[in-house]
Each structure stands twice: as C-alpha cells, then as structure tokens.
Structure 1
Amino acid sequence: MPRFMGFVRMEENVGMPPKVLFDAMDEYIGKQTAKGAFLDGGGLFGSEDAVNFISRKGEVSRVDGPYAEAKEVVGGWAITQYDSLEEAIAEQQEFAELHAKYWPEVTVISTMRQISDGPEVPEA
C-alpha cells in the first residue's frame, strides 16, 4: 500500500491556529486513523531553535535558527497510506480545505509526496 508524507508550510510567526481548526483536525485525523490511513504526524515548533547542517564542497557547517531569510516554514507533517494515489490526493485536498475553512486569513501550503519503498539504484 503506497505511503505518503504530507507537509504543511506557512509563513513563520503567524500565531497559533484557532481552536476550531484544532477541533476539525482532531476529527479528521481520528477518521483517518480509524480507517488505517493516518500512521503518524504532528506539529512543529518555530525555527527559533532549529538546526541545519549544510554539506557543501566536502565541508559540513552548522547554521542555527531562526532564519531571517525564510519566507515560510514547515509547521506540521504526517505519514499516511492509501490504496491509490488518487485517494491520497483527494484526502490531501480535504485536509487543505479544513485550513481554508477554519484559518482563512493565513496562506497554508499543503504538500503531499509519495514515500519511496526503494532502494532505487541509479542505472550505471
């Protein structure tokens, strides 16, 4: 069964989502969990204590947050599984529509990507 990773991106420092969105998300995630689609997920704190390790030209450097240049941050994530890509897309749209309905003043980007069951090895 294909698995997917979903990300929710938004501008940083927009405040906490309204309680009504939390309530709607609890109901949505409960339904997804009951049918075996929601595997794991959660929200993330802001980038003020984030740490990046950058590998460039054979060297590794550490960059601590917050990141003034960041336009948006990942605010949450989920790992799900569905019988088909079409079902996953439909559910991701429903998830996005909850944000549009209950937090319309904030631009939220809901991204879904299929998880590789690899290893896919490049051809030589």
Structure 2
Amino acid sequence: MPRYLTMVRIDETTAPAEGPSEGLMQRMGALIEEMTKAGVLLDTAGLTPTAQGKRVRYEKGEITVTDGPFTESKEVVGGYAILQTKDEAECLEWTKRFLRVHEEHWTVTSEVRQIMEG
C-alpha cells in the first residue's frame, strides 16, 4: 500500500497566538486515535514555530544557515502526518477530515505527496 506525506501548512501571522483551542485538540486527538486504529496513520507531529527554527541552504558550493523566523514565508509547515492508505483517494479523504477539525478562523492547507518507494 502506498504511503503519503501530508505537510500541514499554516499562516503563522493569522494563527491564534495561544495556539490550538482545547476543543480542537480534543477533536484532533479523537481523529488521530481513529486513524491509528484504522491502521492508516504511521506518524504525525506538530512543529515548533519558525522563530525557533533554522534554514540550511546549499548554493554554488556554499552552505548558509539562517535563523528563524522566516519573514519572507507566509505559509509554513506547522506539522505533518505519514499515512498508508489503499490509494490517493483514501488519503485525501483522511486529509479532508483532518482539516475539518479546525475552527473556521484557521487557514490550513495540507500538501499531500506520495512517498517514493524503493
């Protein structure tokens, strides 16, 4: 069965400063439990804000390291999940369910990419 990486992109400038609400965390926890029991969720995690991150770039033989936050980025990866589903359509259905647990004031995009095997 194919595996997919879903990168959850958020706009840090409009995300609630206090982070996800208790209700959102409960709904997300219930969905994660359901996905785990269904055998489709292999791994998932949220990421710290970009202010705590670094970017490492290789260009023309040189490496540079830039401290966050990354002001030139509007959307950033706020978390990820690795799913193993029978096909892309099933992965997209689980991804849509994940996005729907968020309140309306969130702007969340999930980029879904199949993991290359072998």
TM-score (norm 2): 0.91
1:25 Cα offset (Å):
0.6
1:106 Cα offset (Å):
1.8
| Mapped partners of 1:80, 1:37: distance in 2 | 5
1:59 Cα offset (Å):
1.1
Q: Does 1:50 align with 2:53?
A: yes
Q: Secondary structure at the match of 1:41?
A: strand
Find runs of 4+ consecutive structure 1 residues off by over 2 angstroms: none
1:98 Cα offset (Å):
1.7
Q: Does 1:95 align with 2:103?
A: no
Q: Deviations over 1:29-72 (max 9, x none)?
A: 10110111111111111011211111111111111111122212
Q: Secondary structure at the match of 2:32?
A: helix
Q: Secondary structure at the match of 1:33?
A: helix
| Mapped partners of 2:37, 2:75: distance in 1 | 32
Q: Secondary structure at the match of 1:28?
A: helix
Q: Choose the corresponding residue for 2:25, options 2, 22, 27.
A: 22
| RMSD over aligned Cα atoms | 1.2
Q: Does 1:77 align with 2:84?
A: no
TM-score (norm 1): 0.87
Gaps of 5+ in 1: 119-124
Gaps of 5+ in 2: none
* Bigger radius of gyration: 1
Q: In the alignment, what sits opposite 1:5? A: 5
